[in-house]
């Protein structure tokens, strides 16, 4: 490997294949939620693993952004980082909470789901819902809370900690996460907090995937680390090989994927991600950048937010037309979720995104994680890196809900 490869990576402003990864991740999650009881295929039953992939993506992209800003300006503007994140994430999220509050106040008042919604509302408002048990349409919000907790803390780590301390902290986070993953501290956790591994999704997914993404970003940002990654993923066919390995590990039969299997899947996801960014001419790029795949990946955050509503109305529509088949429910849910994401963008998010784009332009980001265009058509026309989000993961295997 020559320094040319590393320089090319460092100068890449948009990782073209990553919206394709988002597309397949969100499709897996929606397929799991809509088809889990109607099919026996392991891949669909394990669609909840899309959350793990989103976490790896988030850790990698956010830390890459911070590292490149630090190289360019010799500092990290934490205030500007928080402002951009808030303008991207908060408007649709709090809009959805508001709409659900209206629904549970006037339409479904007094129902068990209404009671659960208002009991969990303080935690959802403060992005701490990953530490409580939730049900209904809000059950997916735990993963967003996990993301926000990462965003809250990690910019300070990248700004103020040295390289050795950063790697040490990442090792510590992964180590503690594996104590959760292998249930070595489950009894103690349950005794203290009253909930355990089977109750909280964060104890199943853990912070491992987001930490692995951050680790990958720190490795690839330095030439010696990039060289190590290049050895594993630097050939054009690497993305195909690691994708096949990922599918194979995700299909390993197991009643419970916790422990070694989940850790292995998360590690393979990380290397697969590396194979898609270490060089832009890898063999999977033509597939991952196909127009419909890229477009769905670009709006995956909005589709995720609204997909439980989409599932609700998708079921109603399927029953109305007399075709309550898993594939039909999936198609209806996807179409409605995309429609809701579009309406949310055009009539609500656009103003906030215009403001966010002005902040992004003022800081001249070295990687297009936040984008600069503001019309829905423009945003669908570029492979900008939107939020990676945790998605639903309730399964018979491990009761994990994103």
pLDDT in tens, 125-177: 999 999 999 988 889 999 999 999 999 999 999 999 999 999 999 999 999 99
Q: Where are the alpha helices (DSSP H) in 258-384?
A: 260-277, 285-288, 291-298, 300-320, 326-344, 350-363, 376-380
308 assigned to some structural domain? yes
| pLDDT at position 232 over 50 | yes
Q: pLDDT band for 396, please (50, 70, 90 cuts).
A: very low
392 assigned to some structural domain? no
Instruction: Round to whole Å and give the CA distance between 171 and 232.
Output: 21
18-55 pLDDT tens trace: 999 999 999 999 999 998 665 556 778 899 999 999 99
400 assigned to some structural domain? no
CB atoms under 10 Å from CB of 41, counted, come to 12
Instruction: Round to whole Å and give the CA distance between 94 and 124.
Output: 9
375 assigned to some structural domain? yes
358-380 pLDDT tens trace: 776 665 444 444 333 333 343 33
Q: Phi/psi class of residue 370: alpha, beta or left (left: φ > 0; alpha: ψ in -120 to 50)?
A: alpha
The DSSP-derived string for 349-393 is IHHHHHHHHHHHHHH--SS-SS-S--SHHHHHTS-----------
387 assigned to some structural domain? no
241 assigned to some structural domain? yes
Residue with tokens 């900690």: 161
Based on the structure, what is the number of domains in the chain? 1
401 assigned to some structural domain? no
397 assigned to some structural domain? no
Cβ atoms 76, 62 nearer than 8 A? no
The least confident of 285-289, 328-332, 355-359 is 355-359
Q: Find the helix or strand (DSSP H, E) in which 92 lies.
A: helix 78-102
| pLDDT at position 59 over 90 | yes
User: Could you list the residue range(s) of the whole structural domain that residue 73 is in?
Assistant: 3-380
């Amino acid at each position: 490997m020559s320094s040319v490869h590393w320089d090319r990576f460092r100068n890449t402003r948009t990782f073209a294949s990553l919206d394709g990864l988002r597309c397949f991740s969100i499709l897996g999650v929606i397929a799991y939620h809509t088809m889990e009881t109607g099919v026996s295929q392991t891949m669909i039953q394990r669609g909840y693993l899309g959350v793990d992939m989103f976490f790896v993506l988030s850790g990698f992209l956010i830390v890459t952004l911070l590292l490149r800003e630090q190289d360019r300006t010799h500092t990290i503007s934490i205030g500007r980082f928080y402002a951009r994140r808030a303008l991207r994430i908060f408007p649709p999220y709090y809009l959805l909470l508001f709409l659900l509050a209206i629904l549970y106040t006037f339409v479904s008042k007094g129902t068990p789901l209404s009671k659960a919604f208002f009991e969990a509302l303080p935690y959802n408002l403060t992005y701490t819902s990953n530490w409580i048990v939730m049900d209904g349409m809000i059950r997916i919000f735990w993963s967003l809370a996990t993301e926000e907790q990462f965003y809250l803390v990690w910019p300070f780590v990248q700004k103020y900690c040295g390289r050795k301390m950063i790697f040490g902290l990442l090792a510590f986070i992964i180590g503690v996460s594996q104590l959760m993953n292998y249930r070595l501290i489950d009894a103690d956790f349950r005794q203290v907090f009253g909930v355990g591994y089977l109750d909280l999704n964060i104890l199943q997914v853990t912070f491992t995937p987001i930490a692995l993404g951050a680790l990958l970003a720190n490795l690839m940002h330095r030439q010696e680390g990039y060289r190590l990654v290049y050895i594993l993923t630097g050939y054009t066919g690497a993305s195909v090989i690691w994708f096949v390995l990922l599918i194979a590990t995700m299909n390993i039969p197991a009643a419970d994927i916790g422990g070694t299997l989940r850790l292995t899947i998360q590690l393979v996801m990380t290397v697969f991600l590396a194979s898609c960014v270490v060089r832009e001419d890898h063999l999977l790029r033509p597939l991952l950048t196909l127009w419909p795949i890229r477009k769905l990946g670009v709006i995956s955050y909005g589709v995720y937010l609204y997909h439980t509503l989409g599932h609700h109305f998708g079921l109603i529509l399927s029953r109305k037309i007399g075709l309550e088949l898993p594939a039909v429910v999936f198609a209806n849910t996807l179409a409605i979720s995309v429609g809701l994401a579009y309406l949310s963008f055009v009539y609500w998010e656009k103003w906030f995104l215009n403001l966010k784009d002005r902040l992004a332009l003022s800081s001249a980001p070295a990687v297009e994680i936040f984008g600069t265009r503001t019309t829905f058509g423009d945003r669908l026309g570029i492979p900008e890196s939107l939020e990676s989000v945790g998605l639903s993961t309730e399964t018979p295997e491990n009761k994990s809900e994103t």
